[in-house]
Amino acid sequence: MVFNPKIRLLESNLVNQIAAGEVIERPAAVIKELVENSIDAGSTKIEVIIRDGGRTLIVVQDNGSGMSLENLELCVERHATSKLPDGDLFNINSLGFRGEALPSIGAVSRLTISTRSKESKDTGWQLAIAGGEKSAPTPVSHPIGTRIEVKDLFYATPARLKFLKTATTELSHSVDYLNRLAMAHPHIEFSLKDGERQVFHYPGLTKEDFNKRIEAILGKDFVQNSCVVQAQREGMSVSGITSLPTLNRSNATDQYLFVNNRPVKDKLLNGAVRAAYQDLLPGNRYPMLVLFVHISPEEVDINVHPAKAEVRFRDSGLVRGLLIASLKSALNQSAHETSSLIASSAIASFRSPVVGFPAPSAHTGTPSSSFKQSSFPQKASYPVIRQLSTYAMPDIEPEEINQATNEEPEQYRLGIAHAQIHSTYIIAETNESLIIVDQHAAHERLVYERFKAELADHGVSSQALLLPEVINLSTDEFQSITLHLEELKDFGLIIESFGNNAILVREIPALLEKVNTASLVRDLAHEINELGNTLSLKENLNEILSTMACHNSIRAGRKLSLLEMNALLRQMEQTPYSGQCNHGRPTYVELKRNEIEKLFGRR
Ligand code: ADP
Ligand code: MG
């Protein structure tokens, strides 16, 4: 390349295209910018229509202030805004302020703006701009308000066009953005159409009914299983609702966080939520929440990123502290206290394995005759876990139980099971130690390994549900699932679209009998959504399988017979890495005899 020392100013259209690269990443970003403008214009009704995920058409129509002819001509100019009247960047009360959105959109698409303000008595005006070329405004008849139509997005920047995902994926991004804006402005009526199909319609609400917007977006379950958060400190406040720890998700998409009513995705705030729940939820589960942080505009910088999703606080420690404290106090009031100090110091002396056992072939122990030999494969094959549930409690004769407990513990690495406590933990004895197994975590690992083997072999085997189950999903969940129906078959899930955000589940993985199908499907939808909806499921094997394995049949809280317990222990010994579940938590802890003696002051 020849080095050309002459510096020139870029033409404005090029500058706008460069800005578009930052502000307009995808159709959802266009929708966000246009709807934010409509909100700033004081609208009480905002309708959005898109086609092909927004690639060919996006229309945003509002009943807000509208624009005068003079403003219409200016609004597509770069850095033209009506929102910084006194030029004070540190006191921003509107969603927009950079004056970049309309010129950026106009530089990369065919944009038509039709508008009429209250003041203009006679007529409205229309202005078109395509690929940055502006045409003269013409009079049109138009109600008070503004209608913005964006056709052929990115036609002027083909490189960006190539990065668009499928229409369904782009739609789901738009739904997410819109839901966040709709959550923060419940008094505004919002609707979204995908072509002719109504994706959602949220009526405008009065203050007393604001919870209905939360219900419409995140569901009744959430509102019913959550607690109210409310706190104030030094000119700052936090309010909203947050889910009880028992209602949780496999990712953070259902966390709606707002700073001064602006939806944000902010690491500091997410970290505070995580910290507040850390004793109550495992690291891979996320609460659902809707939280509004209000803080004086001078205390927060929202001009960190062109899309304004990130914010910076002047005193971030204060914000974090208040958020954690308010969430914790809300949760404590719901009687979800964490374990006491005494218990945790005793647990500290329990040893948990870092990894599991060597590969199954290393196991040499032979079971004694009182065990049903066929159920405890000694070869390096994956044990048939489904057999576990065939050992139902009533089938066990009293002698069998005695025989089971008379086993010689030294034969087995995990010893002999003696009891189950809290329907969750198996207590086993080896010659040298006491072992406590988390039955759900352990079984999760076994099922996961079995899934992997099945998938590598012929695909996960499925079994038909006696009654196919209809499940109502949210728009997002529905998109994620229906996008992958073909692929889900390989994972043993036979699902059909049932219209109107509902699906019909016909078959589920055979290993997952007695599973709660609805929660399995929802968790999968969230996992798929988190993975970005784009990669094939096979490329995310581990995530998908472990989400499924987590729904295995031996949930915590299920009573097991001694035979079932021992079968589980033997299978753990056969399974690689069975010392930890798929989420890195231990499946069992071991207390050595000398450690027990220490606990009782014998040493
Ligand atoms: P910003 O929102 O940062 O000011 P935009 O490029 O998004 O920049 O919009 C430029 C200006 O156009 C706005 O400041 C506003 O005055 C006007 N405008 C845009 N959309 C609307 C609308 N829907 N209703 C009324 N005025 C609008
Ligand atoms: Mg704007």
Residue nearest to atom 19 of ligand 1 (CA): 37
461 alpha carbon – ligand 1 mean position (Å):
55
For tokens 């005695």, name the residue: 402
Q: Which ligand is located closest to the Cα atom of residue 60?
A: 1
96 touches ligand 1 (CB under 6 Å):
yes
Q: Which ligand is located closest to the Cα atom of residue 102?
A: 1
114 touches ligand 1 (CB under 6 Å):
no
Q: Which residues pair with 233 in a beta bridge?
A: 236
Task: Retrieve residue 594's tokens.
Answer: 């000398």
Nearest-CA neighbor of 502 among 479, 470, 533? 470
pLDDT at 397: 36
39 touches ligand 1 (CB under 6 Å):
no
Atom of ligand 1 nearest to the CA of 80: 10
CB 190, CB 46: distance < 8 Å: yes
199 touches ligand 1 (CB under 6 Å):
no
Kindly list the distances between the CA atom of residue 3 and the CA atoms of 7, 8, 532, in Å, as whole numbers in the listed order: 11, 14, 41
Q: How far apart, in whole angstroms, are the C-alpha atoms of residue 219 and residue 520?
A: 17
Atom of ligand 1 nearest to the CA of 146: 23
CB neighbour list of residue 76: distance below 8 Å, 6 or more residues apart: 102, 103, 106, 111, 113, 127, 129, 134
111 touches ligand 1 (CB under 6 Å):
no
126 touches ligand 1 (CB under 6 Å):
no
Atom of ligand 1 nearest to the CA of 60: 23
pLDDT at 376: 28
308 touches ligand 1 (CB under 6 Å):
no
37 alpha carbon – ligand 2 mean position (Å):
5
pLDDT at 556: 62
Q: Compute the chain's Rg from CA coordinates.
A: 30
Residue nearest to atom 20 of ligand 1 (CA): 37
97 touches ligand 1 (CB under 6 Å):
yes
CB neighbour list of residue 175: distance below 8 Å, 6 or more residues apart: 192, 199, 200, 475, 476, 479
33 touches ligand 1 (CB under 6 Å):
yes
Over residues 326-362, the pLDDT tens digits come to 998 888 776 422 222 223 344 454 544 444 343 333 3
Q: Which ligand is located closest to the Cα atom of residue 83?
A: 1
33 alpha carbon – ligand 2 mean position (Å):
5
Q: Which of 35, 61, 71, 81 to mutate to test the pocket of ligand 1 (most atoms within 8 A of CB)?
A: 81
Cα 219 from chain centroid (whole Å): 15
145 touches ligand 1 (CB under 6 Å):
no
Residue nearest to atom 27 of ligand 1 (CA): 37
Instruction: Determine the residue type at 25.
Output: E
Q: Which residues of the chain have pLDDT under 50?
A: 335-347, 349, 351-404
pLDDT at 544: 78
Over residues 239-291, the pLDDT tens digits come to 999 988 777 888 899 999 999 999 998 888 999 998 888 766 777 889 999 99
CB 167, CB 482: distance < 8 Å: no
CB 171, CB 194: distance < 8 Å: yes
Alpha-helix residue ranges (DSSP H) falling in 225-300: 267-276
Number of Cβ within a 10 Å radius of residue 374: 8
